[in-house]
A and B are shown apart, each in its own frame.
Chain A
């Protein structure tokens, strides 16, 4: 690492709001700045540790037509993220140490943030034979998940939770009963009925959340519930909390922002899995966040090509992109309406996912890695998917006016993103520190 040294001045600490000056050298936060260090005047912007997204689909290997590790991590940097966890439902599925190593190598070559691969729970995500969890962990996997598919057999899930304990890896569960989902295309409810689309009941998620919580109790395994979307699932999480189980949960910006009405007249950019739910569920997600039942936020960034999304609704794939709107949706729909303090909201994007995944802390103190983000929580902007760094344009937020902007992102002491309007970043960009 030969990233040049620089100093960030006139920033505000993300927690205390206190004025902050911070030196960066050799990829880490330093005690004092070298004499020749470039200076970034943050202009009073908020300085926080880089955001962490533990639920991202980078689509490599095999689906580089949707997204690449390069484009997905570039989008992550633009969203203020310095680390993402890559889901293994690629083509082929990441179920061997070799693919974990391949992703890490590729991320080192072309990534714009740290990439932590997640290995599959079962071979080819078929829900039958367990993957070599220990080998995956040794190669660098930080968790196991069959995301995109549930492990339908309770017996296999039980063994997976037991076996993963030895490898020290959490299991991230995509909670969905496939039989209850059937050929469902969106949330079961008034909109699905009006559109004649088969519905997916909220119970398809919550019955599996309840099953896996009971299996976590049986096995002592470490369980993380991915992208929870409905009231009943959070009832299950509350129950797990009361039982003192090692169960954590995440939700995503679209579940606290949108409802199934967003599908409108078959908008495939409002099609994801789990689906957007009722207004009551949306409110329950917000209440769960306020109550502290949500351990961390995640985007479930799921890029697809415009061609794929431009199909009749029932033929279009599930998923939306999320990295580049995550912070603004957090500010616009949680912080500004008064559901969360900004510092707490940022904690759920920074310290919290690190805790959930057992990743080392990043503090704004000397000796810690310089994984940083400069934020303007008051700046308004309009979402333009054509301006995304992600290859995916599949966002339901196109044209939305949001509040909260990422000004610059620094990962390992290198500038990985600078908003074009944030000219102060030029100080390090011109010093040749861009990654």
Chain B
């Protein structure tokens, strides 16, 4: 019998934190303002929502290949890419997508320390949002930063990476790349995710997305980089990289950062490469036709050998190509009515 209880939070459709939380933003939205949606993470996103985005992205990819961009689908929609952490491929990929869809777009990249001038993250982005920005693409070192901004700002928020939490457009482009490689669908597939799981937003988004699609996940990596209770994300933990890769349909290779050695989490990169690196011999343990993914940027010779990175199983450049298509689909989806009103 419970005598005291917390009020239950009204469940958002689809649950998870993909949707804007139900509490109102600080400023009431202007009358007639469109209900922009956010993309904060893949956790809680349904199979059908994911497939819808992947379908839309596939259509964009074909148009990109046919040089059928730009369109004016996002004409009049203002997008700001706010990168508080360094990024090349994600930022450029968003910019190409925004340009391709005819949005008004701008970008800035600033170390999180520039906010240390005294202005808080929220104040900085409030100022930007006040310039009639409809969508904010945000990368920030704080886990939860995107959800936090979505809670406080009227603009739609697309998470381009929040600390070690999520990187949903990366997760989606990984799924798109796998779908392309596996012509007969997601059913019965298994993916190995290898490396620094603890610090990886790529691993989390991939795991949530794969779980939603019914794909089995096996994590592998040094115990110092394996977070507590990772199985709860919907995957098993293998003792060795061989065990994880044997019979798998794909491997997602995570980037190893030098800071992990400085923090005492790894004895040496040479040892890492030897124990956990994705080598041609280990790739051979996977099923015929299985593919190798890497979110980039790669440390060749550390988490992946050049031979594998440039080899026939590598779909790393497909991932980059798909990145633009996914971002087109996500921008279109989050712009929603705004885009319709503009055309």
Contact = CB atoms under 8 A, between A and B. Distances in A.
A192 B144 contact: no
B198 to A, nearest CB: 8
B164 A196 contact: yes
B163 A400 contact: no
B7 interface: yes
A199 B3 contact: no
Contact of B7 (A188, A195, A314, A400): A400
A314 B228 contact: no
Contact of B143 (A196, A332, A336, A400): A196
Contacts of B230: 193
B3 A312 contact: no
Interface string B147-163: 11000100000000011
A399 interface: yes
A312 B144 contact: yes
Contacts of A329: 4
A312 B166 CA distance: 15
A420 interface: no
A402 B145 CA distance: 32
Contact of B140 (A189, A198, A312, A401): A312
Contacts of A193: 227-230, 232-233
A199 B142 contact: no
Contacts of B164: 196-198
B257 interface: no
- Interface range, B side: 20 to 34
Interface in B215-267: 227-230, 232-233
Interface in A334-381: 336-337
Interface residues of A, number: 31
Contacts of A265: 17, 21, 144, 147
B121 A199 contact: no
Given A194-B43, A314-B143, A400 B4 contact: yes
Contact of B6 (A188, A311, A313, A399): A399
B7 A399 contact: yes
Interface string B70-90: 000000000000000000000
A189 B145 CA distance: 20
A312 B165 CA distance: 13
Given A196-B201, A196-B204, A401 B228 contact: no
B5 interface: yes
A403 interface: yes
Interface of B: 1, 3-7, 17, 21, 43, 120-122, 140, 142-145, 147-148, 152, 162-166, 201, 204, 227-230, 232-233
Given A189-B228, A193-B233, A314-B163, 13 more contacts: A192-B227, A193-B229, A194-B204, A194-B232, A196-B164, A197-B144, A199-B227, A266-B144, A311-B148, A329-B4, A332-B3, A336-B4, A399-B7
By Cβ-Cβ distance, the 9 closest A-B pairs, closest first, are A196-B165, A190-B229, A196-B164, A312-B142, A266-B144, A332-B4, A196-B143, A193-B227, A190-B232
